[in-house]
Structure 1
Amino acid sequence: MHVQISVKGHLALRWQEWFGGLQIAHLEDGTSLLSGTLPDQAALYGVLWQLCDQGIALLAFTSSH
């Protein structure tokens, strides 16, 4: 499943491993975009849990198969 997750703030690029290998891009509006492919819904829940656990505000989410 391909996902794109927009979050508030610029995340450290070293966190890519924490987020299932999703690529982190810093956008000019002060947000970060995590994008890439996750193997299944369980992996997606893991990424979302990591964001929540770190107190990172989720702004938008899209996925496609």
Structure 2
Amino acid sequence: MHYRIHIRGHLDSGWQDRFAGLGIEQQETGTTLLVGTLPDQAALYGVLLQLIRLGLVLLSLETSEAPGGKKGA
């Protein structure tokens, strides 16, 4: 499953390993997108737990079957 997790504040790319390898994209609006594929729901829970532990604010969470929002075959 492909995820786009939008959080408040900017994260440095050095944090990527803490978020199951999701890409870190800083936005001009002072927010960060964590983008990529996670193997299962347990991996998603791990990423969300890291957000909680770091005191980060979750703004949105989007899922799709494939990158770019296209449904996989």
State whether TM-score is above 0.5: yes
Q: Which residue of 2 aligns with 1:62?
A: 62
State the number of aligned residues: 65
**Shift in Å, 1:64:** 1.5
Structure 1 unaligned runs (5+)?
Answer: none
**What is the TM-score with the length of structure 1 in the denominator?**
0.97
Looking at structure 1, the residues matched to 25 and 50 of structure 2 have their Cα atoms a distance apart, in angstroms, of 17
Residue by residue over 1:22-60, the C-alpha shift from the partner in whole angstroms, topping out at 9 and shown as x without a partner, is 000000000000000000000000000000110000000
SS at match of 1:11: coil
**What is the TM-score with the length of structure 2 in the denominator?**
0.87
Q: Trace 1:1-65 onto structure 2 (pairs within 5 A).
A: 1-65=1-65
Percent of aligned pairs sharing the same letter: 55
In the TM superposition, structure 1's runs of 4+ consecutive aligned residues that sit over 2 Å from their partners are none
Q: Give the strand-richer structure, 1 or 2.
A: 1
**Shift in Å, 1:12:** 1.4
Please identify the structure whose Cα radius of gyration is greater.
Answer: 2
Larger relative CO (CA 8 A, sep 6+): 1 or 2?
Answer: 1
